[in-house]
Structure 1
Amino acid sequence: MKVQLNTGFMNKNKDENLLPKNDIHRRIIHLDMDAFYASVEMRDHPELRHKALVVAHDPREYHGHGVITTANYLARQYGVGSAMPAIKAVQQVPKDLLVFVPPNFEKYRAVSAEIHEIMHEVTDKVQSVSLDEAYLDVTQNKLGDYPSVALGNYLQEKIYRQTGLTSSFGVTYNKFLAKMGSEYAKPFGKTVILPEEALDFLAKQDISKFPGVGKKTQVLLREMGINTGADLQQVSVQFLIDHFKKMGYVLAMHSRGIDLSPVEWQRQRKSIGKERTFEPSIFEEQTALTQLRKYSNEVAKILQEQNLMATCVVLKIRDTNFETVTRRRMLKKATTDGHEIFAQARWLFQALPEFLERGIRLLGVSVTNLEQKQYQETNLFETL
């Protein structure tokens, strides 16, 4: 179905009244490390700088199994990228160029901690998205009355001097645009989007560049003749809501440069969890249950240390086809007991036998519905 983009509009004023008033007074930086894991490995192994480096276990040693964590820019020239089966790299990259390096997350976490310390030199309003990217609200900052782009330059240059790694950043008035800016600039670049330039910048972007627009949504939009930000700007807000519900409302806002979400740097904890990605994938039930027991005990320990209790156990599982599901089970009463958490996680896991058959790529346990423990349970007889 193709949409006639210049017809069928509702009253323009009424249409725009569906959207909140924009806020262009904040100053937000989105900083994103360039091919982070691969860059760390090239820094530590300079002999690999001119190789197509793929961070993953070599699938030729794991019966074709394995998923790419990330790849350097040379490897990406051959169509290789993160979340792809590692065997694709073997098929697509010349043999004399291809190098697999197994991931070392302990090292990556240590480097990430260094980078975050540098971010906190600028502002404490830092929202970490992952080890290699974060949002910073620099409307007010620790360094003084400097333009936002100067603060971005400071971060980029100091990270490079201290760690030897490159990063890219976007600077603008909201998080959504800042992320688009950092992606637009990669690698080792910067993008400044002023409020008066935002609509023109967005109009030129393909819909695939809009964060949160997945492949299925892209297909539906293209079937409607919506391929760019300019197309989204022409379609009425109500049309997008009618066809895509909440996602349509978000698309309408984003295409018009509106995103009021704050940099969430002080959030009340809503859940506690542990998870891990496996290479090679898990095919044995006992192996999976051993991991679930371990995570359940680790989660219970955190609950006890923070004097919290939980009334809901959540299982997260992903197979080798990247199908991901979460299942939850409510408890009759709040708990901090690892045995109880594991029992519920095991029940949820055993209700999904098809994931073992396909191979488990990721497994995790978390608890939600947290509440503060109001008293310490005491055995009165121990005090006599």
Structure 2
Amino acid sequence: MTTRRDPTVLHLDLDAFFAAVEQRDKPSLRGRPVVVGGLGPRGVVSTASYEAREYGVRSAMPISEARARCPHAAYLGGRFPAYRAVSRVVMDQLHTLSPLVEPLSLDEAFVDLAAGSDAPLPADAVRALGERLRSTIRERTGLTASVGAATSKTLAKIASEMAKPDGLVIVEPGREIDVLHPLPVRALPGVGPATAARVARLGVRTVGDLARITEAELIDLLGESHGRSLFHLAHGRDERRVSSERASKSISVEDTFDRDITDPALLTALVTRMAEKVTERLVRAGHSGRTITLKARLHDFTTYSRSATLPGPTDDARAVVRLAVQLLQEIDTSNGIRLLGVGVSGLSDWVQDDLFAAVHDAGTGDPRPGEEDLDAAVHAERRWVPGMDVVHAVHGAGWVWGSGLSRVTVRFESAGTPPGPVRTFASDDADLSPAEWPEMSDEAGAPPAS
């Protein structure tokens, strides 16, 4: 089953992270539905508050569908400096528990509680440690966290899902199969929509169903690596170690054409097919990815690369296709394209459907999610993004409630104030400017000062 005698693999996940930070810093939104994500016509939901989830709003849902389900929610763009400030506090706290911490995203990480020590750490001790951790995070950030602990990474992550929201679940040694087998098969890492559909052909709906399939059948259906991995996971065998260093890998597909292609519809179809093929390879390998890259070589051999980096990994073909096509639209293809390629990097063995649309880097590399998009929106286009922090020379600190028709509406409040007044200004008002979030704040719970 596992070589660990104690439940010393811990998984922490901040609850509805982006939305929770917005509610913390915006008193008027507390207890109200809040949706954070891409706000354009092709935008998708990154995070929905629990109040919005009651209306059926979910991560990765198109923003248009979310608005139809919950029109009275507050729809906000991301504030990544604020999210990173909170993340630093949380990750620093995790490092006080162990030298071995494996971040999966800004709001999620594994911790090996046994690293550097051979002393036993039974379930009661782990439970006490987990409760102290949750209490400290609430005190220092104002947010809640769900924590799971078990003898393996798979069970620890499942335990934290069972603990949501704001809870703690320990899977004690010997109970792994009892917890695993009733769960839907998608609870296992590496099982996305495509893999779930394939194993459904064998009558598999739960992890217990999967455990009754022979290893040879799974390898035949899913390939050597993926099939063997799922066979062992279904039987509670997970020897993967918590690792602070994640290998940089990528999966890509590209094609050179016999003639330059100018037809936009054909180019879109080609990119779509490549994105689907990349996702198939991703799923077969049991991975998900965060960064989608489009490569295009023009008629004059000029080569462009455009990348979109998501806050969390995905293996959903729809998400990869959507972003790849969006990246294609940023390139002038009118004079012809002779080569196209689609790649996925930032690979992980976990899926986190936590997506922003229209987050991109105009060149190569791996920018922090959304940073350049928001910077361009404010400083280059003078466009005020709903939710962003601002400061007014007379009225002080606030945030953008909405904008349009050369006007911007601001609610003046912060984390430590009551709900504040709303005022509207010309979008080029010289007294109104973006507020700088302190990148190296010791207190992530404090909003930017006016």
TM-score by length of 1: 0.64
Question: Which residue pairs with 2:105 in the alignment?
Answer: 130
1:323 to 320, 323, 336: 320
1:30 aligned counterpart, secondary structure: strand
Q: How does 1:1-384 map to 2 (within 5 A)?
A: 22-25=2-5, 27-58=8-39, 62=40, 64-93=41-70, 95=71, 97-140=72-115, 147-245=125-223, 246-266=225-245, 270=248, 316=307, 321-323=318-320, 351-352=339-340, 362-363=360-361, 365-366=364-365
Which position in structure 2 is the counterpart of 1:14? none
Q: Residues of 2 paired with 1:317 and 1:164: CA distance?
A: 30
1:122-142: CA deviations, max 9, x gaps? 111101111000000001479
Name the CA shift for 1:317/1:115 in 2 (closer, same or farther; >3 Å). Answer: closer
State the shift of 1:220 in Å: 1.7
User: Which residue is 2:419 aligned to?
Assistant: none
Gaps of 5+ in 1: 1-20, 273-282, 284-312, 328-348, 368-384
How many correspondences in the alignment?
Answer: 276
Q: Look up the equivalent residue of 1:257 and give its one-letter code.
A: G
Could you say which structure has the higher helix fraction?
1
**Are the counterparts in 2 of residues 30 and 171 from structure 1 also a CA contact under 8 Å?**
yes
Which runs of 5 or more residues in structure 2 are unaligned? 251-263, 265-303, 311-316, 325-336, 344-356, 367-450
For 2:180 and 2:127, locate their aligned partners in 1 and report how far apart those are by CA, in whole Å.
20
Q: Could you tell me how far 1:145 is from its partner in structure 2?
A: 6.8
Query: In 1, distance between residues paired with 2:342 and 2:108?
Result: 34
Query: Is the 1:318–1:325 contact (alpha carbons within 8 Å) kept by the matching residues of 2?
Result: no
Identity %: 32
Structure 1 residue 24 displacement after superposition: 2.6
Q: How far does the alpha carbon of each residue in 1:227-279 deviate from its partner, in whole angstroms, 9 at most, with x for none?
A: 11111121212221221122221111111111111111256x7589xxxxxxx
3-state SS in 2 of match to 1:128: strand
SS for the counterpart of 2:57 is coil
- Verify the 8 A CA contact 1:38 1:55 in the aligned structure 2: yes
Residues 98 and 188 (structure 1), Cα distance of their counterparts in 2 relative to 1, 3 Å cut: same
Aligned to 1:375: none
Distance 1:152 1:240, change over 3 A: same
Residues 362 and 259 of structure 1: CA distance in aligned 2, closer, same or farther (over 3 Å): farther
Go from structure 1 to structure 2 and tell me whether the alpha carbon gap of 1:158 and 1:350 turns closer, same or farther (over 3 Å shift): farther
Which AA in structure 2 matches 1:119? L
Classify 1:350/1:262 alpha carbon distance in 2 versus 1 (closer, same or farther; 3 Å). Answer: farther
Partners of 2:360 and 2:218 lie apart in 1 by 34
Q: CA deviation at 1:351?
A: 3.4
Q: 1:198 to 1:321 in 2, by over 3 A?
A: closer
Shift of 1:226: 0.5
Cα displacement (A) at 1:323:
2.2
User: Contact 1:34–1:187 at 8 Å: present in 2 too?
Assistant: yes
Give CA-to-partner distance per residue, 1:46-77, whole Å, 9 cap, x none.
2212221001254xxx4x23222211111112
Runs of 4+ in 1 over 3 A off after TM superposition: 269-272, 313-321, 324-327, 349-355, 359-364
Give, in angstroms, the shift of residue 114 of structure 1.
0.7
When normalised by structure 2's length, the TM-score is 0.55
- Three-state SS of the structure 1 residue aligned to 2:96 is helix
Tell me how far apart the structure 1 counterparts of residues 220 and 207 of structure 2 sit (CA, whole Å).
Answer: 19
